[in-house]
Amino acid sequence: MAVNEFMHPRNRYRQKPNFQQLVKQFPELNAVARVDLTGKVKLDYRNKQAVHLLSKCLLLRDFGLKLELPPDKLVPTLPLRLNYIHWLEDIGSVAHWQDKETVRGIDIGCGASCIYPLLAAVQSQQRWHMVAIEKAEDSLESAKANVIRNELQDCINVQSQKQEGNTIVLDVLKDFPDERFDFCMCNPPFFDSNSNELKPHDRTGRRREPSNASTGSLEELCTEGGEVKFISQIIEESLQLRDRISVYTTMIGHKSSYEKILLTLKRASIHNITASRFCQGNTTRWAVAWSFDTKLMLPLVPNSLSTAENNSPGKKQTVGKPISCRIFAAADVDSIQSVKTCILSKLQAIAISVRVVETSTSDEIILELTALENTWSHQRRKRRAVQMSSQEVQTPNGNGTEPECSDQQNGSGHNNHEKRPRLDDKPYECSSQQRNPADDPYLRAALNIARKEDGYYLTLLYIAGIAGKDAVNQILQYLKNT
């Protein structure tokens, strides 16, 4: 099924290139193009030479990039690569990379084309500076040649990954001891070198033959343990590097691998994550990013899984969908700061800790909420119990004691004192499940306060915690009620 409609909205290849015009501009494409009965010019994507020539021509036309590849190396298809770059731009908008003069990134396994660093440099107008690492000697030399060919040596530093080393990024960063990076990216080999299978497992027997020619050398396509083991090692190394790299990102080739990587992150107690899905042509890839930076809330990154998977019947949405409502009309309060003060007081009243996240706009405030237990459920019942207690204290007998409720008065065998525990719950509902702050929180969520023309809006987004996604609905309802 074609999935171009789910391609990143800024991707220029959502619309297929006009091959008729392209062939006029690049006559060399005539060797691999054909004209159908309607007069349309088409390319055979199963032809390796056609895929190679098309990528070279599009790179030159759309990005001004000149690319040469050795034989039998992976030919980069541009829609997929551009989807990854646009997703990184979305992450950067939340991380405020737009405020930085230079953004520093690492491409793990840049390949012979060095395509991601080249696109990153051009797309950012040379604001993104990349360290490109590669293990294979022939690919390393080709990558360096492509950087020099495009005169981007000031933006891209191609580094050899140590052949004898067992690490992916740890050893490379020893060459940059005083430097911190904004992100790393990776397009790992999808397949397990211990398996003979170089294509996705066909569970139903109905999988169609690939519509594109298969390109790439064995080391580009395969690694021991496949992509799950490779990415799991990056996760392990990230636990040592922590904020040396602000955001760790990777592409994932198989849906089953994506689910295993999410589980690996959860087991490592890494909850500051975001995920996406790259759709292009008849191909789908997945991506995950994680961070240890407490000022950066990755769940706020626009998530293509929310839209794409909602349109796929039977698909379970992976990431929580934000819920929103207007909390004040424009005339009710004088400023967004007043709204923040009000919200903070309501949240502090139920022992939810709040951290204000820096934003670059005066019309938006982002708060990170952390709860160690459920303190928000049944608030109306608790307020009612307090009111009843205060009324009893204010209406004593003539002798200064509270009136007794006899069985005849209340029509039952129980007095009010016996009933009160049912109404007057413990202050916090889950006090029997006190959680250590060192544990994973009961709930982590992001709260966005935004000023619009007709008033002030709250948006809540579930991030992590055993409370689950229903908890953010309950907290939003509590804020509305109070």
Q: Where are the domains of the chain?
A: 4-9+68-193+214-307, 324-373+440-481
In this prediction, residue 437 carries a pLDDT of 44
Cα(324)–Cα(334) distance, integer angstroms: 21
Annotated binding-site residue numbers for S-adenosyl-L-methionine:
81, 109, 134, 187
User: Which pLDDT band, with edges at 50, 70 and 90, does 412 fall under?
Assistant: very low
SS3 107: strand
Cα atoms in the 13 Å half-sphere on the side-chain side of 188: 29
Closest by CA to 261, choosing from 308, 176, 318, 320, is 318
Contact indicator for 420, 446 with CB cutoff of 8 Å: no
Cα(458)–Cα(477) distance, integer angstroms: 11
Contact indicator for 21, 44 with CB cutoff of 8 Å: no
Which of 305 and 47 is assigned the larger pLDDT? Answer: 47
- Looking at the chain, the whole-number percentage of residues with pLDDT higher than 70 is 70
Contact indicator for 22, 320 with CB cutoff of 8 Å: no
Cα(243)–Cα(248) distance, integer angstroms: 10
Phi/psi of residue 218, each to 5°?
-60, -40
Highest-scoring range by mean pLDDT, 59-73, 298-312, 408-422: 59-73
In this prediction, residue 319 carries a pLDDT of 45
Whether domain 324-373+440-481 has CATH 3.30.310: the reply is: yes
In this prediction, residue 363 carries a pLDDT of 79
User: Which pLDDT band, with edges at 50, 70 and 90, does 432 fall under?
Assistant: very low
At the top level of CATH, which class does the domain 4-9+68-193+214-307 belong to?
alpha beta
Annotated binding-site residue numbers:
81, 109, 134, 187
SS3 134: strand
Q: What average pLDDT does the structure give for the chain?
A: 77
Please report, as a single letter, which amino acid is at residue 84. Y
In this prediction, residue 34 carries a pLDDT of 72
In this prediction, residue 153 carries a pLDDT of 94
Please write the tens of the pLDDT for every residue from 338-375: 899 999 999 988 888 888 876 656 778 888 888 888 88
Cα(286)–Cα(275) distance, integer angstroms: 8
Q: Tell me 203's DSSP state.
A: S
What's the chain's length in residues?
A: 482
Contact indicator for 425, 375 with CB cutoff of 8 Å: no
User: Residues 6 or more apart from 184 whose CB is under 8 A from it?
Assistant: 105, 106, 107, 108, 169, 234, 245, 247, 248, 249
Which of 7 and 3 is assigned the larger pLDDT? Answer: 7
Phi/psi of residue 20, each to 5°?
-60, -45
Contact indicator for 291, 298 with CB cutoff of 8 Å: yes
Contact indicator for 129, 155 with CB cutoff of 8 Å: yes
Find the range with the poorest average confidence among 26-40, 248-262, 455-469.
26-40
**Span 265-289, average pLDDT:** 88
Residue 225 CB neighbour total at 10 angstroms: 15
